[in-house]
Chains A and B, each alone.
Chain A
Amino acid sequence: MELLWELLVAPLEYQFMQRAFLAAIVVGVGCGVLGSLLILRKLALMGDAISHAVLPGVAIAYLLGINFFIGATITGVTTALGIGFITEHSKIKEDSAIGIMFSAAFAIGILIISKITTNIDLFHILFGNVLGVSRTDLILISILGFLVIVLTILFFKELKLSSFDPIMARSIGLPTDMIHYLLMLMLSFIVVASLQTVGIILVVAMLITPGATAYLLTDDLSEMMVLSGVFGLVSALVGLYLSFHLNVASGAAIVVVATSFFIIALLFSPQEGLLVSKEQ
């Protein structure tokens, strides 16, 4: 018992670990909640796209000497708009538009970073650096996470209808395009907030895996979002402990934990589990 207590408490003695835990909690919950909507709207790839698209924003923000959260949000949203524009104004379908835009944005980011001398550590952006979360970072992360969750709760009804039946949504006058871009804005927020915790490459796992796990366990949207948030939270916490005690990369550890939950749900979910006998 004492050993377990020791294992749990030890990391919290360091201030950088306290901040890491708080950041991971915000990111875990925020990604989980928003990810549920992405899954249901078949926008999982969009999560990947936006996360890669923030790279040039980070680089440009460094060039201009502004906070990288601002640059990242701008390029994230711009890419979402670009994808929407290509899909609507040409015969290119959304999956191809996503492929084109996100690799282009990513490439521009790499170009800038390779050309300028910065102290941007590409490895940290790609894979996260949760131990380097500063006080200011933590405040920004919390604001972004809070915004995402509040917007989801406020517009729950509209998000639900426009995801389930967009035609009906439009027939009662809901601006479904605006709702889509609101979602993309929220997605950019949460991706930017996740940069330090899991990094660009793995953030898509935080968006999709907890939501997918929850989806296997419930038939109710609000339950799915709450469960997904819980899975995101627990994955983030357990992953950070593993990272601390085993001295492994935090983002990767978090994603591995989240994936373990998913596999367990896939096999043993009471309704959907592959290893559960269905009697109905």
Chain B
Amino acid sequence: MEESIWIEDVTVSYGTDDPVIERASFALQPGSKVGVIGPNGAGKSTLMKAIVGLIPLDQGTVKVLGGSINQKRKYVAYVPQKENIDWDFPVSVYDVVMMGRYVHLGWIKRPGEQDHQIVSEALEEVGMLEYQERQVGKLSGGQRQRVFLARALAQRAEIMLLDEPFAGVDQTTEEVIYGLLDQLSKEGKTVVVVHHDLKKVKKYFDNLILVNKEIIAYGPTQSTFTPSYLTQTFSQKSTVVQNDLVVMT
């Protein structure tokens, strides 16, 4: 089977002497649910941005669905962290989700009937249909996260990249998001999630990328979520107790 994301020997330094990501290589299969795990400042978000083509690579190659990101943008949905969003911006929930359709519309063209249909479906799936006319800032943190997930769903992409979707959300939202990601992977889509909470890693992801500037390990969760790799990743001694509990000392 062809890899959906394939990166080789990627280094990113933002023009400094100290690379944020160094010589990273891995390949992800369609249908996998991948957790990107590592300490703060390990380059997890940078890795995502490198895949989406938002930052220049010092060296290395990124391929998605067998082509360059520029050829395949339509099929890659990216949900970044939201620290730069102006929550007073005059857009409704519906408008935000419609933005997921823009990549298909191209310049100047307006959304058609089918786009409206898809947006409504996406809102329904995240349970935000009743809030569709609400200004996007007038929502809780979890609801905002669901709206941004709906926007990615509306893009109908093959690859979903999410940067800390579970950060600061309520229990309901966490379940909604997890349920959807699970469903997407069952449909054969590739789901990649930056995650910094080690709890539930085993439940949420079937594959892991352990990163701390370099790729420490990648592959099936049962073979990568191990004390020795975690110790290497977090530069702390750690013990995995039972299934999903990690103790760091």
Contact = CB atoms under 8 A, between A and B. Distances in A.
B2 interface: no
A168 B99 contact: yes
Nearest to A225: B90
B114 interface: no
A168 B90 contact: no
Chain A facing B: main interface SS: helix
Contacts of A243: none
A65 to B, nearest CB: 39
Interface stretch (A126-134, A212-220, A251-259): A212-220
B240 interface: no
Contacts of A278: none
A23 to B, nearest CB: 29
Interface string B107-139: 110100000000000000000000000010000
A224 B90 contact: yes
B108 A155 contact: yes
Interface in B196-218: none
Contacts of A160: 91, 95, 99
Nearest to A165: B85
A182 to B, nearest CB: 12
A40 interface: yes
A221 interface: yes
Interface size range of chain B in the complex: 20 to 34
B92 interface: yes
B1 interface: no
B181 to A, nearest CB: 18
A170 to B, nearest CB: 6
Interface string B66-99: 0000100110101010001110011110011001
B90 A40 contact: yes
A94 interface: no
A147 B86 CA distance: 28
B44 to A, nearest CB: 16
A219 B90 contact: yes
Given A157-B110, A172-B103, A167 B80 contact: yes
A43 to B, nearest CB: 13
Given A171-B52, A221-B89, 14 more contacts: A155-B108, A157-B110, A158-B107, A160-B91, A161-B99, A164-B89, A167-B80, A168-B99, A171-B73, A172-B74, A172-B103, A173-B70, A173-B73, A221-B90
20 contacts: A40-B86, A155-B107, A155-B108, A157-B105, A158-B107, A160-B95, A160-B99, A164-B85, A164-B96, A165-B85, A167-B84, A168-B151, A171-B52, A171-B53, A172-B102, A173-B70, A215-B90, A218-B90, A219-B92, A221-B90
